[in-house]
Structure 1
Amino acid sequence: MKLATLQRALPDFKIRLLTLQDQDDLLALENSNPTYHRYFSAQPLTLAEIQADLTATPADVAAEQKQVFGFYLANRLVAVLDILNRYPQERFLFIGLLMVNQAYQRKTVGRVIATGLMQAAKQSGIDWIQLTRVTADSGVAAFWEKLGFTDGDQLYLPLAHGERLAVTTMVRPLN
């Protein structure tokens, strides 16, 4: 996804690719949503986890396929969008994370970003958007369903200490 294409679709935001230099702001944003992190770990979120999240990809994905966009309003990071281009197939875009700062939730920020992403993806020749959500999170399920996503397979992510987390894939065609 080209930054310029996404920026044209979402002109009310200042959008930029996040780097390790943005880890403190990203940590603050993610800490504004403590329930999400608790699905993965009982321990507090750390800068090391943020650093890993900025660069981590599945084994079969090249580093250049991953992009982490920051969305700013009044010079404040209000949302993050982590995507994988051409994953899991060529004409797909995979959303690894869309998180809105809690202070901006339920104010259309997430819906506007997701809608703008779909518009930019379609303009970029993407036919499908896929994501994986925590199965137990009914609020997230309802958010994506309102945007036309449908449930797919249920999977289990391995966590520390042999635990597993149930997740559900969701997909939406763009044509």
Structure 2
Amino acid sequence: MKTPKDSHTIMNELVLPNDTNTLNNLMGGRLLHWMDIAAAIAAQKHCNRIVVTASVDNVSFQSPIKLGDVISIESKVTRAFNTSVEVRLDVWAQNIPSGTRNKSNEAYYTFVALDKEGNTVKVPELIPETEEDKALFAGALRRRQLRLVLAGRMKADDATELKALFFDPLSGR
């Protein structure tokens, strides 16, 4: 994706005993904390501003991350709106001794850019370049409308991108 600055970030962490539960699996809250940091870095790089987390959605836990695993959190801005950006995260767990690497999580975070006084500010445009980037960019508008509807900040009737998913052009309904 073409952005004012490189807004793709990879953050690595080693899962230590203090990060795990009694089953020696990484605690979900610890992972969400690390994901928030990785996503904020990508958003700040894009906006060149302080950003704050506005929402976290679609976090899916596909497989446990074990004590001793190295996790890589890949984050990138998928779309810029007026004062906010959406960031996609993919989390990979690698067990170095066994040589395995598995995708364990994915999520979307939304950040709002702020000035020094805490007021929202306009964010730079993002121009998708690859087919994957274009698909993520297009889907971001639907995800945003869903977030706003679920938060009570948009009426479902106004969510035109979401409605289009359910509209049948042949029947007109």
TM-score (norm 2): 0.31
Greater RCO structure (CA 8 Å; 6+ sep):
2
Larger Rg over CA atoms: 2
Q: Which structure carries more helix by proportion? A: 1
